[in-house]
A and B are shown apart, each in its own frame.
Chain A
Amino acid sequence: MKVKQSLKHELIKLLKKTRAWLGPILVFILIMVAYPLTVELTNQSLADAFFPVLFISCLMVMMLATEGIFLEDYEDGSLEHLLITGGSIYQSVFIKILVHWCFIGVPVSIFGALFNIGVGNTVNSSILLLPSLLVSTYIFLILFCFGNSLSLTKGSVLGTLITMPLLLPMLVILGKLTTAIMFNINYFGFLILLFGILSIIMFIFPAIISKIIKTHLE
């Protein structure tokens, strides 16, 4: 199957399944709106404590977005059909993750940067925050997809547990990045590190995931 066809297929599937992409975005907005309303802090503390809340919210929303991401195609026989008819599962996985990121990761990152201004942080910090949010949401998506593929027929809890150790280093880097944005030191170093991680895993993990899916199909 050509890349264009594969992209069209994933777009049709996700567009018509509104709850799959709108649900996580609405959950994210709900957390962002609830944060200043429910946390009793002074304005400055609210702004300072926002970054960790934002990154953890992104993590949770990406977990929500990937729940059952491969299960539907597995259960209705689409993956089996793709494999027998000579299609590429690697390509399908890569495009599925990319489309999910475009529909969920990108809006969440943009909303995240806007809410950052809303809680009292500077526009400049939001400009710095946006690329790190875009990259980290993609990384979260890939890692959760990996967990989901491992626990394809066993439910998402097992997948999340498997993914957690991989996510912790990411959260540590994002914590350091937060400090870098706040104090305006070495921000680009951390951003390049995030891009480096993404550029490796965005090509390697779909290959690993496709191997895992093939094993499930056997």
Chain B
Amino acid sequence: MQNSLLIKADNLSYKINESKLFSGISFALNNNEALHIIGSNGSGKSTLIRILGGISEPSKGNIIKKEDLTISYLGHKNALKSYLSVRDNLDLLDLMDNKQIDNLLAEFDLTNKLDVTLGNLSFGQQKKIALLRIFINEADLILLDEPFVGLDIEMCEILSDHLNKKVEEGSGLIFTSHIASGIRANNFNLD
């Protein structure tokens, strides 16, 4: 697949109450590329992800996005309903009819949890459910904020493999993480 620009950050700055969180952030991401945003606590990693996603506005600078850019996103919150069963949550995500869902549920050891209320699952298991939408949905750009939090080592490896595969297939990936991951990505340091 030919490389094409998905998103470009041009001299981004962000201020909170006149205090600068970050400034002069510039980068470009094409498809088949991954970008690992690193930085200490409070350096603005999540804010940058939210700016790239279009939720927050930068104090200065521009973001140029590919026309009709589709985004797959997982933030700190899983966007799942704790009072619904896993099956209902997958139904809400429109994933129950997908052909890949059975294989992924088996890979994540969740097949026998379909009728369990989500709130009764561990944090890591809930995160796995939330990640299913990233693996199944076809999007130009994947935005992930701390995707490895709450996952065991084995699951971290599985996640890295899946994300590497997504990037090879043509998606672009931007993620924040404190830990060194197995994802083949360029590092971008916010500190």
A residues near B (Cβ < 8 Å) are: 5, 9, 12-13, 16-17, 72, 75-78, 80-81, 83-86, 217-218
Contact = CB atoms under 8 A, between A and B. Distances in A.
B11 interface: no
A3 B50 CA distance: 26
Contact of A81 (B57, B73, B81, B139): B73
5 contacts: A13-B81, A13-B84, A16-B81, A16-B88, A77-B77
Contacts, number: 59
A196 B90 CA distance: 40
A4 to B, nearest CB: 11
Given A83-B54, A84-B73, A13 B92 contact: yes
A23 to B, nearest CB: 14
A80 B55 contact: yes
B79 interface: yes
Contacts of B110: none
Interface residues of B, number: 27
Contacts of A77: 75-79
Contacts of B88: 12, 16
Contacts of B79: 76-78, 80-81
A83 B55 contact: yes
B70 interface: yes
A84 B143 contact: yes
A85 B71 contact: yes
